[in-house]
C-alpha cells in the first residue's frame, strides 16, 4: 500500500512539474503586451489609414486582427460611401433650386454615418470589446 501511495505521489509531482514547465514554455512563446498598448493600437485601427497598426505593433494579441479588419472595412466603406454620395450629389445639383441643398444634406449624412462607425469602433476597442460594426462588421478582409 505504501509503495502505491508513493508511486501516485511521484506521478502527481511529475505531472505538476510537466504542467509548470509546459506552461512556462507556452508563456515564453507568446509575447505579453501591456493591455493599455493593445487597447490603444486597436482604437487607432479605426482612424482611417492606421488600420494596420495593431498588426504591426501587437501582432500576437488576440484582438489585433479583429480590430485591424474592422478598421480596414470601415475605411473602405467610408471611401465607397463618399464616392457614391459625390456621384449622387453631382446628379442632384442638376435640380434647380434645391439640388445644392439636397447634395449638402446628403454629404452631411454620409459623413455622420462614417463618424458614427469610427466612434463606435474606437469606443469598443478602448473598452476591449470585440463587437462588429453595424451593417459592415461581418465582412472579413484580414483573416
With CA atoms as reference, report the closest residue to 78 among 51, 45, 32, 115.
115
Distance CA 138, CA 135 (A): 8
> Residue 32: its pLDDT value, please?
81
Q: How distant is the alpha carbon of residue 128 from its chain centre?
A: 9
- pLDDT tens for the 143 residues of the chain, in order: 555 555 555 554 554 544 444 544 444 444 688 888 889 999 999 998 898 989 999 888 888 999 999 999 999 999 999 999 999 999 999 988 899 999 999 999 999 999 999 999 999 999 999 999 999 989 999 88
Amino acid at each position: 500500500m505504501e509503495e502505491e501511495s508513493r508511486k501516485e505521489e511521484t506521478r502527481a509531482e511529475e505531472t505538476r512539474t510537466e504542467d509548470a514547465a509546459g506552461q512556462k514554455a507556452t508563456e515564453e512563446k507568446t509575447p505579453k503586451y501591456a493591455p493599455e498598448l493593445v487597447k490603444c493600437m486597436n482604437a487607432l485601427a479605426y482612424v482611417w489609414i492606421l488600420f494596420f497598426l495593431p498588426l504591426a505593433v501587437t501582432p500576437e494579441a488576440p484582438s489585433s486582427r479583429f480590430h485591424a479588419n474592422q478598421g480596414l472595412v470601415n475605411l473602405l466603406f467610408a471611401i465607397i460611401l463618399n464616392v457614391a454620395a459625390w456621384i449622387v450629389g453631382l446628379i442632384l445639383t442638376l435640380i434647380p433650386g434645391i439640388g445644392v441643398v439636397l447634395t449638402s444634406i446628403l454629404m452631411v449624412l454620409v459623413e455622420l454615418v462614417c463618424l458614427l462607425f469610427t466612434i463606435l469602433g474606437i469606443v469598443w476597442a478602448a473598452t476591449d470589446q470585440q463587437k462588429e460594426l453595424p451593417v459592415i462588421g461581418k465582412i472579413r478582409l484580414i483573416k
